[in-house]
Amino acid sequence: MAKVIVVTSGKGGVGKTTTSANFATGLALNGHRTAVLDFDVGLRNLDLIMGCERRVVYDFVNVINREATLKQALIKDKQCPNLFVLPASQTRDKDALHVEGVEAVIEELKKDFEYIVCDSPAGIEKGAMMALYFADEALIVTNPEISSVRDSDRILGILAAKSRRAEMGIEPVKEHLLITRYSPKRAESGEMLTVQDIKEILNIPLIGVIPESEAILQASNSGIPAIHKGESDVAQAYSDIVRRFLGEELPLRFVHRQKGGLFKRLFGGA
Amino acid sequence: MSTIRPSSIESSAFDIKGSSFTLLIFCLRTTQLPELEKQLYDHLSKTPDYFNFDPIVIDLSNINQTDVKLDFKSLINILRRHRLTPVGICNGSEIQAQIANKYGLGVFIGLSGKIKPKDTSTNSQPLNSDKTIELPSHLEKKKKETLSQPTKIITRPVRTGQQIYAQGCDLVVLASVNAGAEIISDGNIHVYAPLRGRALAGVKGDTTARIFCQCMEAELVSIAGCYRVLEENLPQNLQGEAVQISLNGEKLIIEPLLSRTTDNKRTANWQK
């Protein structure tokens, strides 16, 4: 049975789209047929980060309005044959999304894909509601700062009350906490919230921590998700998250400051 | 007044849910309504506000023989005049059920056990029984107002923007109440996890209500409308500790839950 995963946060600029791109790529690299959908209608970004913006002909809204078929709108990723992108429309706004239309698209995707990753826009308005409504699982992207944590808390409340699973009274959406832009050094010195602080407030299982890194910006600008650069800490952190999502148990990395000598740096401090 | 429309996600305009309520039963022992009205008047004229249009179910087990005729319309009017709201009947005959339906009364089925009179003498002389309704004393009246619903228990975290109201009962929360969340109760509030949001107990004016929590980090606490914004941290012995909050006159008392008798100095008092 296909799974729908929403990547959401409430707050903007915390790394939802980056996470969607890397997570979907990671699933595809692990051999799973994956589609990633951009719900940020009017401010589309996912296609840029995935490096397919020049191949966009039809978009999500065209499919909803039956101006194009899903097959025409889905863009096959250059690197992974298992990965497809459904871009958002740049010229429309969020009102173009509606429950029946989104449901039809997701139901059709479910026939052909194992995982459907929904990249949510910021906020708690229509676009975000549509992105989370059909979710089976949710990645809650949170930065180690208080306003981001507060917004994530709000989104968790909405997931528990307004998702389809909540409305139908079936098993609730499975929540995963994903902390991005984490700097162990700054957390230790009290400039940032620590992983422990965030876990205590949000009270949901942690799926992984992405360290703050310049590699992310480079990857975004070049249109190749960072997970392809296997040697970087970001790539490793995202691969860990995907493997944990698929059921592996891995020790948490990149949450402590790298100290000590060459030996430790070489073998990575857990 | 504006109208409320279902949002696009909740396309259905209503939900039907199962629920259960405690209802008063009005055990009717006569079909002679003038006599009923007289007795009702005698009993209720001293405490005219005893009933506040409380919903009641009319038990017809004493008068469900087929040859007995009952004027439903007048009965309903009499009950309404005495601030009772008949919502249904039980233990009536089939014909009585049909007539009751016609007058907008529901038929409660599956109510086992007839409401039997307390002794046989009243049973044999229904008209002379001196009480149609058991009139409670003042003590019982108070009990009726404060004890109503079972305690509301919340097991999942209460998150920013969420509001939980325990109407007519106590509220117990077993998971954290996060900053920006609001928990409200007509009675007491217990939180067996960090309380970081707002907690308002006794909101209908119960000054004896209390708030108990295992880890006190609240933004605001209130009892019976007397509130305190906790802008800054509490003293060390209270912040993040197990505390209880009660109302003493106009003062909100926040004190450690366990060491109340051993160290009174540590108790912090606040005036509204």
Residue B18 resides in a domain: no
Is the CB of B160 less than 8 angstroms away from the CB of A157?
Answer: yes
Mean predicted confidence (pLDDT) in A63-67: 94
**Range name among B13-27, B94-108, B116-130, B186-200 with the lowest pLDDT average:** B116-130
State which of B129, B163, B182 marks the end of a domain: B129
Please report which helix (H) or strand (E) contains residue B215, including its range. Answer: strand B211-216
**pLDDT range class, residue B35, cuts 50, 70, 90:** confident
Sheet holding B198-201, edge to edge: B163-166, B182-185, B198-201, B220-223, B226-229
Residue B2 resides in a domain: no
DSSP A96: G
Query: How much is the pLDDT for B114?
Result: 44
- Tell me: do B158 and B242 sit in the same domain: yes
Mean predicted confidence (pLDDT) in A15-36: 97
Residue B15 resides in a domain: no
- Tell me: do B114 and B159 sit in the same domain: no
Q: Which DSSP string corresponds to B10-66?
A: S--S----------EEEE---S-HHHHHHHHHHHHSSSTTS-SSEEEEEE-TTS--T
For residue B173, the domain's CATH number is 2.160.20.70
Say how many domains are in chain B. 2
- Tell me: do B73 and B168 sit in the same domain: no
Let me know if A247 is exposed, middle or buried by CB neighbors in 10 A (0-12, 13-18, 19+). Answer: exposed
**pLDDT range class, residue A189, cuts 50, 70, 90:** very high
For residue B39, the domain's CATH number is 3.30.70.260
The shortest CB-CB distance from B159 to any of A98, A154, A162 is to A154
pLDDT digits (tens, 9 = 90+) for A199-220: 999 999 999 999 999 999 999 9
- Tell me: do B249 and B158 sit in the same domain: yes
**Range name among A11-15, A219-223, B199-203, B232-236 with the lowest pLDDT average:** B232-236
Residue B86 resides in a domain: yes
Query: How much is the pLDDT for B111?
Result: 56
B92/A contact by beta carbon, under 8 A = no
For residues B197 and B162, the answer to whether their CB atoms sit within 8 Å is no
Query: How much is the pLDDT for B259?
Result: 58
Residue B144 resides in a domain: no
* Residue A33 one-letter amino acid: R
- Tell me: do B159 and B98 sit in the same domain: no
Rounded to the nearest 10 degrees, the angle between the axes of helix A214-222 and helix A233-245 is: 80
pLDDT digits (tens, 9 = 90+) for B116-148: 443 333 333 333 333 334 444 444 444 444 446
- Tell me: do B121 and B158 sit in the same domain: no
- Tell me: do B157 and B225 sit in the same domain: yes
Residues of A in contact with B8 (CB under 8 A): 98-99, 126
Distance from CA of B185 to the nearest CA of A (A): 20
Distance from CA of B160 to the nearest CA of A (A): 5
Residue B199 resides in a domain: yes
B176/A contact by beta carbon, under 8 A = yes
The CB density around residue B43, as the number of other CB atoms within 10 Å, is: 17
Distance from CA of A219 to the nearest CA of B (A): 34
Is the CB of B8 less than 8 angstroms away from the CB of A99?
Answer: yes
Residue B179 resides in a domain: yes
pLDDT digits (tens, 9 = 90+) for A76-94: 999 999 999 999 998 888 8
- Tell me: do B124 and B156 sit in the same domain: no
**Helix, strand, coil shares of chain B as percentages rounded to 5?**
20, 30, 55
- Tell me: do B92 and B162 sit in the same domain: no
Q: Bridge partners of B201?
A: B223
Range of the domain at B94: 24-129
- Tell me: do B198 and B119 sit in the same domain: no
CA-wise closest residue to B116 among B61, B40, B58: B61
Asked whether the predicted pLDDT for residue B54 surpasses 60, the reply is yes
Residue B123 resides in a domain: yes
* Nearest residue of A to residue B158, measured between CA atoms: A157
pLDDT digits (tens, 9 = 90+) for B238-265: 999 999 999 999 899 999 987 544 444 4
- Tell me: do B99 and B167 sit in the same domain: no
Is the CB of B161 less than 8 angstroms away from the CB of A154?
Answer: yes
More reliable by pLDDT, A166 or A91: A166
- Tell me: do B86 and B163 sit in the same domain: no
State which of B129, B160, B191 marks the end of a domain: B129
Is the CB of A99 less than 8 angstroms away from the CB of B175?
Answer: no
Average pLDDT, chain A: 93
pLDDT digits (tens, 9 = 90+) for B202-221: 999 999 999 999 999 999 99
B12/A contact by beta carbon, under 8 A = no
